[in-house]
Structure 1
Amino acid sequence: MGETRDAAVSAEEFEAERGRLFGIAYRMLGSAAEAEDAVQDAYLRWHAADRAYIGAPGPWLAKVLTNLCLNRLDSARARREEYVGPWLPEPVRTDAGALGPLETAEQRDQVSMAMLVMLERLSPPERAVVVLRDAFAYAHGDIGEVLDLPEATVRQTYRRGKKHLEAGKSRFEASSSARADLLARFLAAAAEGSLEQLESLLADDVVSWSDGGGKVSASTRPVSGRTKVARFLLGIMERFATQMRIEFAEVNGEGALLAWEDGALAAAGFFEAGPDGISGVRIVRNPDKLKFLEDQSRNLSRIEGLSGS
């Protein structure tokens, strides 16, 4: 009985940390599937560990998980060098708290597609330090304990990582209301098939990235410039408008367009807005990267259906 009770307590302690662990892993890896695998590996280590040598579960699990993610990042970089076309993160719905509270603009920005792409610029240690510090408010000393680094090294690593991020960040980002307005106007222009209206919503230096992973039809190179991007997006909308159902949802802390075809999620589109209009478009079409998001959406629809019945 004692061993059974201890096992139950152990499982409960882990489950209390699961959400935070998934949030750390996802921000570090940019993949929900890999994050779930890392969390499961952390559970196996937790299950096998001698509790006599563990203090509070939270710090111990954070250290184990972070180091598991660092190992995964090393192998992920090699795989992404062979990836077909642009690589984009795996999208996650955030309107049900999957990545923790996103109550401020800063919290939403930390899980945005643009930020996750920029995090790819960082070395694995830089990424770990920035994620733990900015997203989870870890003190520099606590991060040092997680990574087995002196506090001075952590501070230096953090400054270096933030410098790299700032170098790639837009000098101006529109408010959420401005982005929502641009998105609504974009949909209206696309529905009318108006190239001129679509162009008027795009910045001169707008860039569009499409991630098909070599598994579905998608541009294997970024599309740049107002006219080229407008024609590219209009072509997509005209091609799929009659075949797909378009849904608006909060994904990665921002408004996104989800395109459904024959009951399956076919694409997720994200729009970045600056002072001159839409400055970036990211479209995820790789079906492997849409599975987690599709499952989330189905579960939310099922819950909403039960609550409305």
Structure 2
Amino acid sequence: MSERTESATQVFVDHRELLFAIVYNILGSVADTEDVLQEAWLSWTGRARRAPLDAITNPRAYLVRIAVNHALARRAAITRRRETYVGPWLPEPLLDEAGPDDSTDRTLRTESVSLAMLVVLESLTPLERAVFVLNEVFGYAHTEIAEVIDRSPAAVRQLAHRAREHVHARRPLYRAHPRVRRQATERFVEAALGGDIAALMEILAPDVTVWTDGGGKAPAGLRPVRGRDKAARLFAGYAARRGAGLDIRYRRVNGDDSAVLFAGESPYAVMVMDLTPDGEQVSDVYIVTNPEKLARVRRTDETDETHATDATDATEEEHA
């Protein structure tokens, strides 16, 4: 590797976590994000081989532009895959498995956008989503975004306005306190896997929706289940068939406390709950069982020991 390429690679590495966070929030897929970052790295190092990088006054902005445009190009392939996907499609869950010695920048991966918000972002156009992520999540000004996506500031403002209206109409601006989320998550999982219909009817909102993503590779419904009665029956059957023998770990998924189920050492499902504005009931349940989307989920008892519990003692655990 030449000195120029080595220097360019180091600059890329220095910004990699930011690029990962931006691209993942645009795509909702870790595998596609990794591919896009590889393409961005090739573009960046190719530029370095052709000419000195000294002429680039803002490498961060340059790299963000490369990564976002590669991500926008990748959206077309993702859309084509979605057309033949079996059942509901959910974003690939991103677990916070950073150790205490990891860089602070790594928190960008999981603290930006919840899985529930990523579901809403799927309904935006690719450009609207890119603008929303850059503006609302990462704080880029409209003029900066205009340079990234090669549009006028006026066009970016229009895109941002449409995206913001659409998102806020589908998802009110609230976020439950982490302790409230943790308590609600544990109550729900204990009731769902324990087959406690009475407890489920209490914690599920009347209009709750359950989304199960198996991708045709794992047991899952072909359509979302809507309504408390249907959802409670679904979980009662799920508990009877699958509840025994599953080990539960409470982990942070896309920045929110969630439940990860393991069958032995293998990940079985990731369950993410979204709450009503008062934090008292579960409004949406997102369950990912597609093994391809769980391939990066690891059972790391050493790092999540304080979060580990089982369905019988979940409510007795001391909350942080």
**TM superposition score category, shorter chain reference:** 0.7 to 0.9
Q: What's the counterpart of residue 24 of structure 1?
A: 22
Partner of 1:235: 237
1:289 paired with 2:293, answer yes
Judge which range, 23-32 or 70-79, deviates more.
Answer: 70-79
TM-score by length of 2: 0.85
The letter for the 2-side match of 1:149 is R
Match of 1:43 in 2: 41
Range 256-265 or range 48-57, more displaced: 48-57
Equivalent residue number for residue 168 of structure 1: 170
The reply to whether residue 263 of structure 1 matches residue 261 of structure 2 is no
Which has the higher mean CA deviation after the structures are superposed, 75-84 or 175-184? 175-184
CA gap of 1:10–1:222, structure 2 versus 1, over 3 A, is same
Distance 2:6 2:161 in 1: 42
Whole-angstrom distance in 2 between the partners of 1:204 and 1:11: 52
2:4 equivalent in structure 1: 6
Gaps of 5+ in 1: none
Give the conservation status (yes or no) of the 8 Å contact 2:194–2:243. Answer: no
Q: How far is the alpha carbon of 1:191 from its aligned partner?
A: 5.4
Alignment of 1:2-151 (within 5 A): 4-49=2-47, 50-52=50-52, 54-94=56-96, 96=98, 100-101=106-107, 108=111, 110-151=112-153
CA displacement at 1:31 relative to structure 2: 0.4
Note if 1:221 corresponds to 2:223: yes
**Residue deviations 1:261-298, cap 9 Å, x none?**
13111100011111461111010011111112x1xx35
Identity over the aligned pairs, expressed in percent?
Answer: 37
Amino acid at match of 2:290: N
Q: Which shifted more, 230-239 or 10-19?
A: 230-239
Alignment-mate amino acid for residue 129 of structure 1: V
Aligned to 1:203: 205
Counterpart-to-counterpart distance in 2, 1:192 and 1:287? 24
Cα 1:155–1:191, aligned 2, differ >3 Å: closer, same or farther?
A: closer
Q: 1:45 Cα shift?
A: 0.9
- Is the Cα–Cα contact under 8 Å of residues 244 and 259 in structure 1 kept in the other structure? yes
Task: Describe the SS at the equivalent of 2:250.
Answer: strand
Q: Distance in 1 between matches of 2:64 and 2:134?
A: 10
Q: TM-score, normalised by structure 1?
A: 0.88
CA-to-partner distance for each residue in 1:231-284, whole Å, 9 max, x for gaps?
211222332222211111001011111111131111000111114611110100
Q: 1:61 to 1:283 in 2, by over 3 A?
A: same
Runs of 4+ in structure 1 off by over 6 angstroms are: 302-305
Equivalenced residues, count? 295
**Matches of 1:224 and 1:99, distance apart in 2:** 38
Amino acid at match of 1:179: R
CA distance in structure 2 between the aligned counterparts of 1:19 and 1:171, rounded to whole angstroms:
26
* Distance 1:169-1:98 versus aligned 2 partners, 3 A rule: farther
Give the stretch that moved more between structures: 161-170 or 92-101: 92-101
Distance 1:228 1:98 in 2: 43
Name the residue aligned to 1:279: 283
Q: Which amino acid counterpart does residue 12 of structure 2 have in structure 1? A: F
